[in-house]
Amino acid sequence: MTPSPSRRSLLGASVLPAALSLVGCGSLRGGGDEPSQDPVTADGPGETEPAASPDRCLSAEDAARRDRPTPPPREEAGPENEAIPDRPLSEHGLALFADGERIAAQQTSDALMLGDSDTYGTVVWSTADGTILDRLDNGLVGAIATDSRGRLAIGGVTTVEIREEDGEVLRTLTGGEEPFGPGIGKRVSDLALTSDGTRLVVLGADGRVTVWAVDGDTCEIEHELAADLGPAIAFSLSPADGTLAVCAEDGTVELWDPQAGTRTGTGPEVPGTVAGLAHAADGTLIVCTDGERAVHALDPSGTLTSGPELTSSGPYRVAAGAGGRVAVVGAGDNRVLLWEREADGTTELPVVRGSVGRLVFSPDGGTLYGASPSQGVIAWSGGDSWRTFETP
Amino acid sequence: MSTDHASAQAERIDTGAQRLEELAEELGATVGRSAGSWIGPDAEAFRAEWSSTAQALRTGTQELLARSAELSRHRDEQDTASEGDGQAGASGTDGGSDTTTGSSAQDGPNAPGEDAYYGEVDPEVVERWESMSREDREAVARAIIEEELAQYGLEDVPVDFDLTGSNGWWEVSDGAHSISINGDRLDTPRLLHTLAHEARHAAQWEAVQDTESGFWDWLPGVDSTADDYERLEEEHGFTREEIDSWREHFDTPKDERGPYLDQSIEVDARNAGAEVSEELTMEDLDRYEELAGVG
């Protein structure tokens, strides 16, 4: 408030000792037992339960009975339920099918909350013309992964689904009831299916990295990786040899064999704090560093190449594509940097309106797809603009 | 202020008056006993001065009792009025959760029970905002928050953009405010609302603190509560009813408050945020960019 000769300042000076001797200091509020030591807050994420990684596999019957989360009644809505208009897509999930002809991303629950949509969760588009092919309406808005057989792994907050190419649910992993809330921040933030399809690696909302055996009738946690590192922020599974690179909150990178559950090495020594990573098809590990902002590439022979400086701060979304292409964007940013490693060239792609999250290259590396919260699925194939897909 | 609150205050004033009277009596007895062991000019002067001090204390005690009676009278009048029109009103009388959602919020598009409204941003501003880099947005957002806080006389409030999940967060701890904004969502112009919304919560808290009843309000030279209410209404347009509804909100345990969207501080902050969102012009944005050193 505007400074004034208020009673507060007066009470704080000459009269205060006398007042203290009578009825206690300062205010006469409520029951007189204020103030509390706890901070006073208004709105914020205080009411939601901490999210847990999936820890069990639902039976087929239970999985079939699972309903997607629904908005709470108005009187129970909290700040986590405040929807934002014109924000159709989650920045967390984007995965291209192996044939390159379809791409999956996550429709947010904002439109549902605002009464502008009847569905939310995973949506599949045609990459040829950007039209929507399928809406799974599964209420999951975390990471997505695909495998060579066309299977999808789809993350929510506490839930991961594994679906066949045709959408049939094969498995549902759960760590508790899947909450509803456009503003719930922590989600399953990375998923990867091993090339043989027998393992699923999950980076849960609590930062734990778990390896699930999902072969045949088996559906159980096989290993927890890098638990000593504390919460992980990202991982990347090498398509070349199956090595899993895990990045912790403090920037530490460790290499793991997810099948055996053993640590096989550490990440490259680079200046700054690693805050994003990806693998190229040949196994080259791309790491992006904050602090000393830059992109680096560690090829399978152990040669480290440093690329361009980054203009934005981390954490970073990183994609590696054919032809040595690397795309990077900072969280919540709209400037995507393209590093062509073979030509050692750098291009700042056209500015995305709003921001762009998860990035993925087409199989030939010629097109970069992005999950933009406000623009939806977008694609850049050269030129000075992004192509936008049908809005879910 | 609720009538329950008024009763509690009156009771405490009575207790204070009684304590003051007891202290005066004890001190008077001590001074009287000193006559047998403390003699001389200084002692005589002290006892003479004590006589006028004792009179001031007696006057003070009477003043306190008069204030208490006045407060009780206002309480009774309010009870009568509430019974008459059948409404609890913003300040409420039952102490239940509904009393935090009264009709005391500032005039604006938001009201308890109505759909939340966050304001429509000028399309030109939207386009500029969406084209900014994250770093520039954060710098401009910081300038907006600081200007909002400054109009309430608040400076040096830490602001960060590290929040995940919800859009914004305000808290005050040991008298120090802090604000956190969800930087990952700052790309949406809807969060322009949030910047003013969180700053408003800080202002609400300060207004409540400024109008806390003070034990020594009756002393000459000390502002009365009424003066503070009047000053805040004049300077910021906060009505007494609004401030008292915010106080009631803060005084109510979290699990006993009414629905989040209908809470008095939220309705008011939404109105403040909507107003800022709707009135933000390109010229304003230019100015904020200049303040932030971007553009």
Going residue by residue through chain A (392 aa), what tens digit of pLDDT does each one get?
644 444 443 233 333 333 333 322 222 222 223 334 577 887 544 445 668 999 999 987 888 888 899 999 988 888 888 899 999 999 999 999 999 999 999 999 999 999 999 999 999 999 999 999 999 999 999 999 999 999 999 999 999 999 998 899 999 999 999 998 877 888 999 999 999 889 999 999 999 999 999 988 899 999 999 999 999 999 999 999 999 999 999 999 999 999 999 999 999 999 999 999 999 999 999 999 999 999 999 999 999 999 999 999 999 999 999 999 999 999 999 999 999 999 999 999 999 999 999 999 999 999 999 999 999 999 999 999 999 999 99
Q: How far is B265 from chain A (nearest CA, A)?
A: 8
Distance of CA A148 to the CA centre of its chain: 22
The whole-number pLDDT of residue B60 equals 66
Number of separate helices (H) and strands (E) present in chain A: 4, 30
Residues 74-113 in A contacting B (C-alpha not used; CB under 8 Å): 74-80, 82, 84-87, 91
Chain B touched by A13 (CB under 8 Å): no
A189 lies within 8 A of chain B by CB: no
Q: Which of B120, B180, B187 to mutate to probe the A interface, most A CBs <10 Å?
A: B187
- List, for residues A337-371, the tens digit of each pLDDT value: 999 999 999 999 999 999 999 999 999 999 999 99
Tokens of A69: 């989360």
Q: Give the highest mean pLDDT range of A11-25, B70-84, B260-274.
A: B260-274
Q: Which residues contact A316 (CB under 8 A, 6 or more apart)?
A: A275, A276, A288, A290, A310, A328, A329, A330, A331
d(CA A330, CA A358): 10
- Tell me the nearest-neighbour CA distance from A283 into chain B, angstroms: 30
**Number of residues written out for chain A:** 392
Q: Regarding predicted confidence, which is higher, B226 or A209?
A: A209
* Residue B133 to residue A335, Cβ atoms within 8 A: yes
pLDDT of residue B59: 66
Count Cβ–Cβ pairs < 8 Å, chain A vs chain B.
202
Give the nearest chain B residue to A78 (CA atoms). B260
pTM: 0.80
Positions of E strands within A152-300: 152-155, 159-163, 169-174, 190-193, 199-203, 209-213, 220-225, 232-237, 244-248, 253-257, 262-266, 273-279, 285-290, 294-298
Q: How far apart are CA B225 and CA A7, in angstroms?
A: 8
Q: Average of pLDDT values for B169-198?
A: 95
Q: pLDDT of A199-213, one tens digit each? A: 999 999 999 999 999
Report residue A162: phi and psi, to 5°.
Answer: -115, 125
Q: Distance (Å) from the C-alpha of residue B67 to the closest C-alpha of chain A? A: 14
B159-160 sheet: strands from edge to edge = A40-41, B168-173, B176-181, B159-160
Report which of residues B94 and B243 the model is more confident about: B243
Nearest to A32 by CA among B198, B240, B128, B11: B11
Helix then strand then coil, % of chain B, to nearest 5 = 65, 5, 30
The nearest alpha carbon in chain A to B262 belongs to A75
- Residue A162 β-bridge partners: A153, A171
Type of residue at B30: T
Structural domains for chain B: 3-81 (1.10.287), 105-292 (no CATH)
What residues in B contact A26, CB-CB < 8 Å? Answer: 212, 214
* Of B105 and B116, the one with more pLDDT: B116
- Dist CA B209 CA B213 (whole Å): 9
pLDDT > 90? residue B78: no
Is A84 in Cβ contact with B207 (below 8 Å)? Answer: no
Distance, in Å, from the CA atom of A76 to the CA atom of A174, rounded to the nearest integer, reads 24
Tokens 């007696």 locate to: B58
**Res B27: pLDDT:** 72
Amino acid, res. B260: Y
What is the band of B42 on the pLDDT scale with cuts at 50, 70, 90?
Answer: confident
Complex ipTM > 0.90: no
What confidence score (pLDDT) does residue B66 get? 65
